Copies of this chain bind each other. A is one copy, B any other.
Amino acid sequence: MTKNGKISDAVIRRLPKYYRYLGDLLKNGINRVSSNELSKLTGFTASQIRQDLNNFGGFGQQGYGYDAKNLRDEIGKIMGINNNYQVIIVGAGNIGQAVANYAGFYEEGFEVKALFDKNPKLMGLKIRDLEIKDIDDLPEYLREVHVDIGVICTPKEVSQNVANILISNGIRAIWNFAPTDIKVSENIAIENVHMNESLYTLAYYYKNKKEIN
């Protein structure tokens, strides 16, 4: 925790990992876990894990450790998992369709309500019972239906423009798959996924490990 009381991004990005490994433990019938055991699973140090968790409160018990179920629930609450989010996807190409089809999200409260595209060939096509709608109808749709998260799966040339449309119609969270950094104001949540940067990073390490070995 920094002095202004805000929790650092690095901490936030470790929370999903704790959440996931705790889920694995529970599935295996383990309902008690120490920071040391979590360390072995996650690869983070026990000290760091305790520090991270204590940003949000004392979830453990001295001499015992953490109750896995309770800790997982608490982390879920902190992150807002299972809160039920209304999601729309803009761009119904490969990535848009893959996101729409990814069942895992539905189980955790992320509900895709609609897909939009500008390609007339896709219009009316159904993905998971959802008809692909015309992107021109997007502003009107947003005026009528509450949407929490807008997923951008368009080409990069129009991604910022799409984001602007989403935001000016009330959306406050954007998950961006276009290979650009979408710029938003302070009050909007954004995640730029950047698969391409991930691939380049992989290529770098591949190249360099080869040179070493």
A residues adjacent to B (C-beta < 8 A): 12-13, 15-17, 19-20, 43, 78-81, 83, 85, 93-95, 97-98, 101-102, 104-105, 108, 110, 148-149, 172-175, 179, 181, 187-191, 193-207, 209-210, 212-213
Contact = CB atoms under 8 A, between A and B. Distances in A.
B189 A105 contact: no
Contacts of A79: 200-201, 203-204, 207
A213 to B, nearest CB: 5
Scoring A15, A196, A204 by chain B CB atoms within 10 A of each residue's CB, the highest score goes to A204
A37 to B, nearest CB: 16
Copies held by the complex: 2
Contacts of A19: 200
Nearest 9 Cβ contacts at the A-B interface: A189-B205, A173-B206, A16-B197, A98-B98, A94-B98, A80-B207, A189-B206, A191-B202, A94-B101
